[in-house]
Structure 1
Amino acid sequence: MEARAENLIRTEYSEVMQKAYIDYAMSVIIARALPDVRDGLKPVQRRTLYDMHELGIRYDRPYRKCARIVGDTMGKYHPHGDSSIYESLVVMAQDFKKGLPLVDGHGNFGSIEGDGAAAMRYTEARLQKITQEAYLADLDKDVVDFVPNFDETEKEPEVLPVKVPNILINGAEGIAVGMATSIPPHNFGEVIDGVKAYMKNPDINTEQMMEYIKGPDFPTGGIVTNKDDLLSIYSTGSGKIKVRGKVEIEKMKGGKERIVITEIPYTMIGANIGKFLNDVYSLVETKKTNDIVDISNQSSKEGIRIVIELKRGADAENICNLLYKKTKLEDTFSVNMLAVADGRPETMGIVPMIRHHVNFQYEIATRKYKTLLEKELEKKEVQEGLIKACDVIDLIIEILRGSKNIKDAKACLVHGKTDAIKFKSEESKQLAAQLQFTEKQATAILEMRLYKLIGLEIEALLKEHDKTLKNIATYENILGSRTAMAKVIIKELEAFKKEYAKERKTVIDNVEAAVVEEKKIEEMDVVFLMDRFGYGRTVDVPTYERNKEAADSENKCVVLCRNTDKLCLFTDTGKMHSIKVLDLPFGKFRDKGQPIDNLSNYDSSQENIVYLMNLQKLAEHKVFFGTKNGMCKVVDGSEFDVAKRTIAATKLTEGDMLLTVRVLEGEESLILRSDKEYFLRLEASEIPQKKKGAVGVRGMRLAAREQMQEIYVLPPDGEEVVTVKEKEVALHRLHIGKRDTRGVKK
């Protein structure tokens, strides 16, 4: 056997990867994620609508199962999975997402609060009337190019002949590779007016265009608060639109008020409504406001209604400002008007988008009227042949009766060939030789039925011929004059506007930024108390002093601090958790506290508190750290003044645990005690100062399997006695030793 020759192409691996990735990226950008500027549709949307058109699921016909539509679209045009097709179909039917829904859905198609649509086997759909009239009309008139589908067994339109600027009316959202598009929806009537204005004045600028298109018109309504920024956004095609919900303040019985939200920002659609309710709960829990009594979501099919009840005497305006500032009731819609234009992605302003749309309208109108003109010219040719045939019908009948076959009869009608035909007279033969019908005319004559010779039928033929001549003149006029074509396009747009335009929902205005007047906190000394179950609370100093004995005996931790301070919890895992004192319950001595776990990231099931101190005192002193393995260090307390709720207070080696943390105020002594009853007394100054991220140095030399049991911190004049095997050891009388020594056995 001969060895088969193989051509091995040597190339750089990085070049292959680069080319493959670019090909993939362009495929996602062009064929999946971004809309075409001409019809404003992504491929999946275009294919779904075309498939519904092909299946005959028109607006005036019965609904069909979505599963049938999805399956047919996937099998013929879009081989990317049924979920993506169904999701696209659902979104095109949701009036709270699309300014102009393109699909008429029947069944559960989801809700504004984020509920998903029912499975495709339960729901039904059909095209909307506007979709049929403005998106799919004239497909039979060669107005757009058709291209082979993925397996070249079907043809699909490269772009739909959309007669309204869908990319602005419905907007678009899509994430491609390295780029994303986010185009807000606009008001149908305003966009039509903008297109008409451009067609009358192609040199129109963005500012002039905004006299017609005021700004975005979200299906959920709301208020755009930065009107002055819109000119820049619509000029460049990118920027940020600030949107607020619509709020009403209602009076209630007893002098109370309630805030009622009737419209939400477009960005709050879906799960963000639930998040908004949780954010309001959080404002109450974290004591950002004490004026909210209750919140309820009373939304229904009639619309949004979220009710927030307030205390008597509450400042409703200030609460509204707090909601704007701290929740999604005021949000930002990022605009990036990116679309595929001439086969490549391009970010463009509102005028270039309309320019692309208008150029497309001229293109499809030109192709439409050329197709119609060709058909009318064919009809004219046939009609003239039939009229001429009626005048010499006796001769034609004689030709047909004298012919042996259709071929001979046709040759006589077209070329005047009479040799193969028997005539009654020489005169008839001479007249037949003069006939000069065209191929189409001869075919029409041969196919003509005898009833067409009735007088009324001939009259109808003449009228139809006159109509054809008028149509030809009209179409030639439209094709010969851009002005005439513009009039036709504008007339059609005005008809769409008259039937489908709706009032604007979103208010465009300049609104000052929300300012919250926060109540000033009266600064005071408080005492933090934490019981053995981990419940913490604060009381004022006089209350503590009246109950000092009970407070000290019943509580695990007692710390004097300011109510504006933070508490720092050091745990045996080497972490420091911080809690704002204001977050702790404040009240009477016997009031129940709140678990420390709920107020910080501290987890009592995984770690234990080693030391607790207020940040103000901590930041002004040095802090001593000692671990089970005998590692020691001193850290500047200011290192713990951080914004994070949890940080690593020290670095621990594997198997080590934090044993002792103490604030050093002067010339303290440290007494290190091991579990084998070795004691080592050191001056605190012997321990070097390190950063909080350091492990530290060895304070006491330990034997194998020996650990530190306790570390005592004695003030200069302090006295302390501990018991070791029923023998008392006075810690203040121990001799001062050196760091990293064994110590003495007791």
Structure 2
Amino acid sequence: MGPAADINIEDIIDEEDVIVTCTHEGYIKRMPMDAYRQQQRGGKGVTATDMKDEDFVDHLFIANTHSYLLMFTNKGKVHWVKVYDLPVLGRYAKGKPVVNIVESLDSSRSVRAMIATSDFSGFLFFATKNGIVKKTPLDEFSRPRKGGIIALGLDDDDELVDVRITSGKDEVLLASADGMAVRFNEQDVRSMGRGARGVKGIKVDKDSHVIGLAIPQTGQTILSVTETGTGKRSRIEDYRLTARGGKGVINIRSERVAAVKTVDDTDELMVISQKGILIRVPMSSIPVLGRATQGVRIMRLESGDKVVAAEKIHEGDS
């Protein structure tokens, strides 16, 4: 064998942060961090991807090219891919079908959560549509399987909504689409194996569902972004610490919520709409308001459009 046999592909791939987007119908791509200039809040934004009318972007995040991307489906299965294996495409391209990149991914399942990591320490904390939560050691997902594996057990009428990395001793904030949120200690949820169902995290009404979870850290605020393009930040202390399983308190008033994040003043925010319009604004432009308030305009939307995803960008990521 010649010298080429000793070459590791990662040695010739630049290690850098990139923007990853994936649409509801499973078209994925990565783009350079400088693809979008910063704007002022309330702006109209720019096109992030070109999609069919019935498709929309529902995953937007920052990842390192050398990280593993763990893809969790709505039915609780996880698949692996390296970020550098994702197609590099321009801002207007819709992406490539994720089922063509991850051959083991069942085309009848949708990807509901993605975790990019190169360090498999800590835990994965899961949240489902019906308010069930589960905590599993991240190390149980450190050995990629070609066909994927079951990440959690689900009731027939339930689906996975969100997954986050935790330390095992964090606090958790679980938020619903009707503007409610509950904050509790992660230690209230014991560690369970991959196939376990989990326990009740938040009680949701029949016309609502869980839209995400956040892991608050000291000095951060809770960002809430609504489907109509408004948003605000609130102090973590405004959400009283309670036991898991309750209905929680009002998170944002009179709006359907699209995303909830923990953020720092030095972060930036990317918001993307159902029609593929994206805006990038400084987090400091979004005021810290009371928990049960409406918020301010972050993004102007065209008729029939709505916000479907929001992602923070840390200082130094771009």
Write out per-residue CA displacement over residues 65-99 of structure 1, whole angstroms, 9 at most, x where no aligned residue: xxxxxxxxxxxxxxxxxxxxxxxxxxxxxxxxxxx
2:187 paired with 1:685: yes
- Note closer, same or farther for the CA distance 1:675–1:528 as it changes in structure 2 (3 Å cut): closer
Alignment of 1:107-122 (within 5 A): none
> How far 1:727 moved relative to its partner?
10
2:236 paired with 1:735: no
Could you tell me whether the CA contact under 8 Å between 2:74 and 2:110 is conserved in 1?
yes
Alignment coverage as a number of residue pairs: 226
1:715 to 189, 201, 217: 217
| 1:626 maps to amino acid | A
- Note closer, same or farther for the CA distance 1:743–1:643 as it changes in structure 2 (3 Å cut): closer
Q: Distance in 2 between matches of 1:582 and 1:671?
A: 32
1:557 to 60, 63, 70: 60
- Note closer, same or farther for the CA distance 1:632–1:592 as it changes in structure 2 (3 Å cut): closer
Could you tell me whether the CA contact under 8 Å between 2:127 and 2:213 is conserved in 1?
no
Q: Distance in 2 between matches of 1:652 and 1:595?
A: 26
- Note closer, same or farther for the CA distance 1:715–1:657 as it changes in structure 2 (3 Å cut): same
> How far 1:625 moved relative to its partner?
0.3
> How far 1:567 moved relative to its partner?
1.5
- Note closer, same or farther for the CA distance 1:691–1:589 as it changes in structure 2 (3 Å cut): same
2:15 paired with 1:525: yes
Q: Distance in 2 between matches of 1:581 and 1:723?
A: 27
- Note closer, same or farther for the CA distance 1:727–1:599 as it changes in structure 2 (3 Å cut): closer
- Note closer, same or farther for the CA distance 1:670–1:517 as it changes in structure 2 (3 Å cut): closer
Higher relative contact order at CA 8 Å, sep ≥6: structure 1 or structure 2? 2
- Note closer, same or farther for the CA distance 1:674–1:652 as it changes in structure 2 (3 Å cut): same
| 1:622 maps to amino acid | F
Could you tell me whether the CA contact under 8 Å between 2:239 and 2:249 is conserved in 1?
no
Equivalent in the alignment of 1:89: none
Could you tell me whether the CA contact under 8 Å between 1:722 and 1:731 is conserved in 2?
no
Greater fraction helix: 1
Q: Distance in 2 between matches of 1:536 and 1:660?
A: 18
> How far 1:722 moved relative to its partner?
3.6
Equivalent in the alignment of 2:275: none
Equivalent in the alignment of 1:697: 199
Equivalent in the alignment of 2:55: none
Greater fraction strand: 2
Alignment of 1:228-247 (within 5 A): none
> How far 1:721 moved relative to its partner?
4.7
Q: Distance in 2 between matches of 1:731 and 1:710?
A: 20
- Note closer, same or farther for the CA distance 1:683–1:716 as it changes in structure 2 (3 Å cut): farther
Could you tell me whether the CA contact under 8 Å between 1:667 and 1:715 is conserved in 2?
no
Could you tell me whether the CA contact under 8 Å between 1:686 and 1:739 is conserved in 2?
yes
> How far 1:635 moved relative to its partner?
1.2
Q: Distance in 1 between matches of 2:231 and 2:62?
A: 33
- Note closer, same or farther for the CA distance 1:549–1:568 as it changes in structure 2 (3 Å cut): farther
Q: Distance in 2 between matches of 1:631 and 1:672?
A: 10
| 2:131 maps to amino acid | G
Q: Distance in 1 between matches of 2:80 and 2:94?
A: 21
Q: Distance in 2 between matches of 1:637 and 1:744?
A: 30
Q: Which runs of 4+ in 1 moved over 6 A?
A: 587-592, 723-729
Give the unaligned 5+ runs of structure 2. Answer: 39-45, 50-58, 251-291, 293-318
Could you tell me whether the CA contact under 8 Å between 2:29 and 2:95 is conserved in 1?
yes
- Note closer, same or farther for the CA distance 1:734–1:581 as it changes in structure 2 (3 Å cut): closer
- Note closer, same or farther for the CA distance 1:735–1:589 as it changes in structure 2 (3 Å cut): closer
Equivalent in the alignment of 1:652: 154
> How far 1:701 moved relative to its partner?
3.7
1:628 to 126, 129, 139: 129
| 2:240 maps to amino acid | H
Q: Distance in 2 between matches of 1:612 and 1:654?
A: 22
> How far 1:666 moved relative to its partner?
7.8
2:139 to 633, 638, 644: 638
Residue aligned with 1:549, SS:
coil
Equivalent in the alignment of 1:547: 35
> How far 1:697 moved relative to its partner?
1.2
2:82 to 571, 580, 587: 580
Could you tell me whether the CA contact under 8 Å between 1:526 and 1:561 is conserved in 2?
yes
> How far 1:612 moved relative to its partner?
1.6
> How far 1:614 moved relative to its partner?
2.4
> How far 1:582 moved relative to its partner?
4.9
Q: Distance in 1 between matches of 2:231 and 2:98?
A: 39
2:171 paired with 1:669: yes
Alignment of 1:470-509 (within 5 A): none
Residue aligned with 1:517, SS:
helix
- Note closer, same or farther for the CA distance 1:678–1:647 as it changes in structure 2 (3 Å cut): same
Q: Distance in 2 between matches of 1:674 and 1:592?
A: 29
Report the TM-score, using the length of structure 2 for normalisation: 0.57
Q: Distance in 2 between matches of 1:630 and 1:719?
A: 23
Q: Distance in 1 between matches of 2:82 and 2:35?
A: 24
| 1:560 maps to amino acid | A
Report the TM-score, using the length of structure 1 for normalisation: 0.27
Q: Distance in 2 between matches of 1:729 and 1:530?
A: 24
Residue aligned with 2:37, SS:
helix
Q: Which has the larger radius of gyration?
A: 1
